[in-house]
């Protein structure tokens, strides 16, 4: 142990520590210190710690260390250590370096965008060594980390008892209620954060489609910005709609063009949307609207394919004819898109929450969906007025799907005509709206008394003797397709 270590021992111990002084980590540490917590900080490259303290040390009580052992020794026990490093190998390396320095009952938190299976693995490993591991999803970007994010912690209930008060106090608040709650054991928190991101992808895809429709009807970026700003005062009120109008209003200083027109139309992604869809595929849950958002980003970035198709494929010119001189017509058009956007958004939430429901069954998590909606109401990227409604609907009703919630189904009954008009109009005009269309198909598939799966079963039985069930009796059956086509019961299935 170093000399600094002994000195640290004599100082007042820190209540919480943050590892990783990149923007998210330092902002989270500053948030803790600003909220009155004595906060230990450490970074692999010490100069970053120094720079953070030089710039922000006056904001609260920080205990900086240059040595990891000193950092650990500077914390009161049980230690609460939040790791904010690049997800993946960086997290594992940090955990491995910490392990020999920890004592029984210490709590290690991973605040990055980790895959929930990694979190499950790490939690098990640390639990077996006598430590607690908390996978905490943190949403809100850099500003959120500093001013109040939405926090989704998963781990042992015991660790939450020690950690919860700190996390709740640094989280965003709605009417004094923190946007942080215990989600469930091991990977539950990171799973919920992953689904948050899947919904975020869908939300952004729908916003993009709404803008494409406005553009197709001749709206300038600035006019579309006004439309989004108006929507933000109604049921669509949300952070993403709010910043959409800001992005659309931005004028590029170099060219004088709307910025959105000079940005390359190839969407990037770090992978959390893909994880959401992969998890849904593994669990067998339909999340087609979320998947469309991931695929739309992939297709947008496939420059080679798009170039080949642009030269080869014909179709409508992507223009929507509305009578611009008729304000009523224009207003109806805008309102239709608003309703389509709201409806599709509800479907994305329904799919994401359904995925959480399935995962909870699979992994034995006791996840309270009303509480999840509650902590998404502020701080996070998908914060929206709709979330208060989702919270109250789940709190009041035992819902299989959000779509059956009384106020949601009533609203969808009203909005669906507009939604259908927008999808039909887009299809007719050649404007791609994979998100709106696929969300609508899900809505229609979910409510249909019979779907095409019966024919699928017939085909599977024909070519592979995969059997089918009948609507009028129990058991599994097979038709002898290649002989006399009589039906036999598949006794093995009993």
Q: Which of 77, 124, 270, 319 binds ligand 6PG (CB under 6 A)?
A: 270
Spatial contact of 205 and 435, defined as CB atoms under 8 Å apart: yes
d(CA 348, CA 438): 10
Nearer to ligand 6PG, 90 or 141 (CB): 141
Residue found under tokens 């669990």: 283
Question: Minimum Å distance from CB 376 to ligand 6PG?
Answer: 10
Considering the candidates 59, 124, 147, 193, report the single residue annotated as catalytic.
193
Would you call 397 helix, strand, or coil by DSSP?
coil
Spatial contact of 383 and 150, defined as CB atoms under 8 Å apart: yes
d(CA 350, CA 400): 9
Spatial contact of 118 and 89, defined as CB atoms under 8 Å apart: no
193 assigned to active site: yes
Question: Minimum Å distance from CB 270 to ligand 6PG?
Answer: 4
Question: Minimum Å distance from CB 3 to ligand 6PG?
Answer: 40
Q: Enumerate residues 6+ apart whose C-beta is below 8 A from 295.
A: 434
Chain mean position to CA 464: 39
Residue found under tokens 């805008």: 334
Chain mean position to CA 295: 16
Pairing relationship of beta strands 150-154 and 173-174 according to DSSP bridges: unpaired
d(CA 89, CA 106): 22
Q: Which of 49, 181, 272, 343 binds ligand 6PG (CB under 6 A)?
A: 272
Question: Minimum Å distance from CB 469 to ligand 6PG?
Answer: 40
Question: Minimum Å distance from CB 448 to ligand 6PG?
Answer: 33
Q: Enumerate residues 6+ apart whose C-beta is below 8 A from 70.
A: 2, 4, 5, 8
Nearer to ligand 6PG, 270 or 428 (CB): 270
Nearer to ligand 6PG, 4 or 269 (CB): 269
426's enclosing H/E stretch is: helix 406-429
Considering the candidates 123, 200, 292, 393, report the single residue annotated as catalytic.
200
Question: Minimum Å distance from CB 110 to ligand 6PG?
Answer: 14
Nearer to ligand 6PG, 63 or 202 (CB): 202
Of all residues in this chain, which one has the CB nearest to ligand 6PG in the complex? 139
Question: Minimum Å distance from CB 268 to ligand 6PG?
Answer: 6
* Residues 102-121 contacting ligand 6PG, CB under 6 A: 113
Stretch that binds ligand 6PG, among 267-275, 285-293, 371-379, 430-438 (CB under 6 A): 267-275
* Residues 125-144 contacting ligand 6PG, CB under 6 A: 139-141
Spatial contact of 438 and 340, defined as CB atoms under 8 Å apart: no
Largest Cα span, the chain: 90
Nearer to ligand 6PG, 113 or 343 (CB): 113
Stretch that binds ligand 6PG, among 264-272, 303-311, 320-328, 417-425 (CB under 6 A): 264-272
* Residues 372-411 contacting ligand 6PG, CB under 6 A: 380-381
* Residues 213-252 contacting ligand 6PG, CB under 6 A: none
Distance from the first to the final alpha carbon of the chain: 67
Using CB under 6 A as the binding rule, whether residue 57 contacts ligand 6PG is answered as no
Stretch that binds ligand 6PG, among 60-68, 166-174, 265-273, 404-412 (CB under 6 A): 265-273
Pairing relationship of beta strands 476-479 and 468-469 according to DSSP bridges: antiparallel
Residue 357: closest CA among 287, 406, 272: 287
Helices (H), 114-187: 116-128, 141-147, 157-170
Nearer to ligand 6PG, 110 or 393 (CB): 110
Pairing relationship of beta strands 173-174 and 177-178 according to DSSP bridges: antiparallel
Helices (H), 3-45: 3-10, 23-34
Nearer to ligand 6PG, 101 or 269 (CB): 269
Residue found under tokens 């170093």: 2
Nearer to ligand 6PG, 51 or 247 (CB): 247
Using CB under 6 A as the binding rule, whether residue 31 contacts ligand 6PG is answered as no
200 assigned to active site: yes
If you write DSSP's letter for every residue of 460-472 in order, what string do you get?
HHHHH---EE-SS
Using CB under 6 A as the binding rule, whether residue 171 contacts ligand 6PG is answered as no
Nearer to ligand 6PG, 268 or 464 (CB): 268
Question: Minimum Å distance from CB 242 to ligand 6PG?
Answer: 15
Nearer to ligand 6PG, 20 or 78 (CB): 20
Question: Minimum Å distance from CB 196 to ligand 6PG?
Answer: 6
Q: Which of 15, 159, 171, 197 binds ligand 6PG (CB under 6 A)?
A: 197
Mutual angle of helices 89-98 and 116-128, in 10-degree steps: 10
107's enclosing H/E stretch is: strand 107-110
Helices (H), 217-302: 221-231, 239-249, 259-262, 272-283, 288-300
Using CB under 6 A as the binding rule, whether residue 168 contacts ligand 6PG is answered as no
Using CB under 6 A as the binding rule, whether residue 39 contacts ligand 6PG is answered as no
Residues that bind ligand 6PG (CB under 6 A): 113, 139-141, 197, 200, 268-270, 272-273, 380-381
Residues annotated catalytic, as ranges: 193, 200
């Amino acid at each position: 142990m170093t000399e600094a270590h002994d000195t640290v021992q004599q100082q007042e111990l820190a209540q919480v520590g943050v590892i990783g002084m990149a923007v998210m980590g330092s902002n989270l540490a500053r948030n803790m210190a600003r909220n009155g917590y004595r906060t230990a900080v450490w970074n692999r490259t010490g100069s970053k710690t120094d720079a953070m303290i030089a710039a922000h040390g006056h904001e609260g009580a920080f205990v900086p260390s240059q040595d990891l052992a000193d950092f650990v020794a500077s914390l009161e026990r049980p230690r609460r250590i939040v790791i904010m490093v690049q997800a993946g190998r960086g997290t594992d390396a940090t955990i491995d370096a910490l392990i020999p320095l920890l004592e029984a009952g210490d709590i290690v938190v991973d605040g990055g965008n980790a895959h929930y299976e990694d979190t499950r693995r790490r939690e098990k490993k640390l639990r077996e060594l006598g430590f607690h591991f908390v996978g905490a999803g943190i949403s809100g970007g850099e500003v959120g980390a500093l001013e109040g994010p939405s926090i989704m912690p998963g781990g042992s209930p015991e660790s939450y008892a020690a950690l919860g008060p700190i996390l709740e106090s640094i989280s965003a608040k709605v009417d004094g209620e923190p946007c942080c709650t215990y989600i469930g054991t091991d990977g539950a928190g990171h799973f919920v954060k992953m689904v948050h991101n899947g919904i975020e992808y869908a939300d952004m895809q729908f916003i993009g489609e709404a803008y494409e429709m406005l553009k197709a009807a001749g709206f300038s970026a600035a006019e579309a910005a006004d439309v989004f700003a108006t929507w933000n005062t109604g049921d669509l009120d949300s952070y993403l709609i709010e910043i959409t109008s800001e992005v659309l209003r931005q004028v590029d200083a170099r060219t004088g063009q709307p910025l959105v027109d000079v940005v390359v139309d190839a969407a990037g992604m770090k992978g959390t949307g893909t994880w959401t869809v992969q998890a849904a595929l593994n669990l067998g849950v339909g999340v087609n609207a979320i998947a469309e958002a991931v695929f739309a980003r992939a297709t947008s970035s496939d420059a080679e394919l798009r170039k080949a198709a642009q030269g080869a494929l014909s179709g409508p010119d992507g223009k929507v004819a509305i009578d611009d001189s008729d304000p009523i017509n224009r207003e109806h058009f805008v309102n239709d898109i608003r309703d389509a956007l709201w409806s599709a958004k509800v479907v994305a939430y329904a799919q994401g929450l359904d995925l959480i429901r399935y995962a909870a069954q699979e992994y034995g998590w006791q996840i309270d969906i009303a509480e999840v909606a509650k902590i998404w109401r502020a701080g996070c990227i998908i914060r929206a007025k709709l979330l208060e409604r989702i919270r109250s609907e789940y709190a009041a009703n035992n819902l299989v799907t959000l779509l059956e919630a009384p106020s949601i189904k009533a609203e969808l009954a009203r909005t669906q005509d507009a939604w259908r008009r927008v999808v039909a109009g887009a299809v007719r005009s050649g404007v791609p709206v994979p998100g709106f269309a696929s969300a609508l198909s899900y809505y229609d598939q979910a409510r249909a008394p019979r779907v095409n799966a019966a024919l699928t079963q017939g085909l599977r039985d024909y070519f592979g003797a995969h059997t089918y069930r009948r609507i009028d009796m129990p058991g599994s059956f097979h038709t002898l397709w290649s002989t006399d086509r009589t039906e036999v019961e598949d006794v093995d299935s009993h």
